[in-house]
Amino acid sequence: HKHMLGTYGMSAEEITSILDRAAYWEQSPAKLSNHLQGRFVANMFFENSTRTRFSFEVAEKRLGAEVLNFTAGVSSVQKGESIYDTVKTLESMGVEAGVIRLKPNGVLAELADKIKIPLINAGDGNNEHPTQALLDLYTMRKHFGELRGLNVSIIGDILHSRVARSNLWALQAVGAKVSFCAPAAMQAPELAAHAPYISMDEAIRSDVVMMLRVQLERHAEADGMLQTTEEYREAFGLTMQREATMASHAIIMHPAPVNRNVEIDDELVECARSKIFEQMGNGVPIRMAVIERALA
Ligand code: CP
């Protein structure tokens, strides 16, 4: 089975081979190849997406695959059909691999056990988003040349972030050093044993300053933001003032979508050291490498 459910447990060699294959595809002059000609791949998004969904579609089309896009909102999920029955339905039609994004935690592993085709996790709850982490590592490696020894600070809503978790496991596997920075209400207690929580002043001195979106939709009214967005920006936002104190070689990352002027100032989103739109572009070759691996 060639599932990709997470970066947890992936070896440095596995990660490096995906990054190297992505570099091959990025450098390939041809926009289209016939590598996966006649192979059917389904993108199954049970939760909203712009970047992940479209970069998987571009990646699949560049590889010459036949692409089916399933969107829960216009499917029989609306009649109560389960995720398992939906995926089994596509499998029965000859789909050979599925890219899947799910709202709940803990459903994907069980699903992957029961489904014969390889599944690629495009984000499941706050558990993992492995292809996001791989494209983030790819972006860092392109900039710095080497991942080992790099200091990466992940700042913001760690509690609800599958991006933080996938980056933590992948970065540690390749020898980078990860730190978190978050207000108390957004810290994930189970991750404290894996990476230290540091102050904002310390976090912005890292080689990589990775900002996370405040996931307003995942904060139930009961748990509350505890802060207004302006208070959040003051305490944990990457403001112009803070950016001025970053090391000259340091870069800014964010998986996007961005809440401008909440976790990052509007002026910084496209500043010289920001990799935010480059990250999105790097999603295509990374996902080409991941789809190819699934169907190998
Ligand atoms: N970064 C990311 O996963 O974006 P989407 O939710 O738009 O796919």
Q: State the ipTM, two decimals.
A: 0.97
Sequence-distant (≥ 6) Cβ neighbours of residue 248 within 8 angstroms: none
Cβ(51) – ligand 1 distance below 6 Å? yes
pLDDT for 222: 46
1 found inside a domain: no
CA 45-51-56 angle, to 5 degrees, is 65
pLDDT score of 190 more than 70: yes
For residue 242, give the CATH number of its domain.
3.40.50.1370
- Is 50 among the annotated ligand-binding positions? no
Q: How far is the CA of 43 from the centre of ligand 1 (A)?
A: 14
The shares of helix, strand and coil residues in the chain, as percent rounded to the nearest 5, are: 45, 15, 40
Is 52 near ligand 1, meaning CB less than 6 Å away? Answer: yes
Q: Of all protein residues, whose CA lies closest to atom 3 belonging to ligand 1?
A: 52
pTM of the complete model: 0.96
262-275 residue pLDDT tens: 999 999 999 999 99
| 169 assigned to some structural domain | yes
Q: How many domains does the chain have?
A: 2
Q: Name residue, tokens 């990860």.
A: 178
What are 25-60's pLDDT values in tens digits?
A: 999 988 899 999 999 999 999 999 999 999 999 999
Do residues 147 and 271 both lie within one domain?
yes
Q: Domain range holding 219? A: 130-276
Quick check: 60 and 289 in contact, CB under 8 A? no
50 Cβ closer than 6 Å to some ligand 1 atom: yes
Report the residue among 44, 49, 253 best suited for mutation to probe ligand 1: largest number of ligand atoms under 8 A from its CB.
49
The reply to whether 214 and 171 lie within a common domain is yes
Q: Ligand 1: distance of its center to the CA of 98 in Å? A: 17
Whether the CB of 255 sits within 6 Å of ligand 1? yes
Q: Ligand 1 in contact with 47 (CB < 6 A)? A: no
Please indicate, yes or no, if residue 174 is contained in any of the structural domains: yes
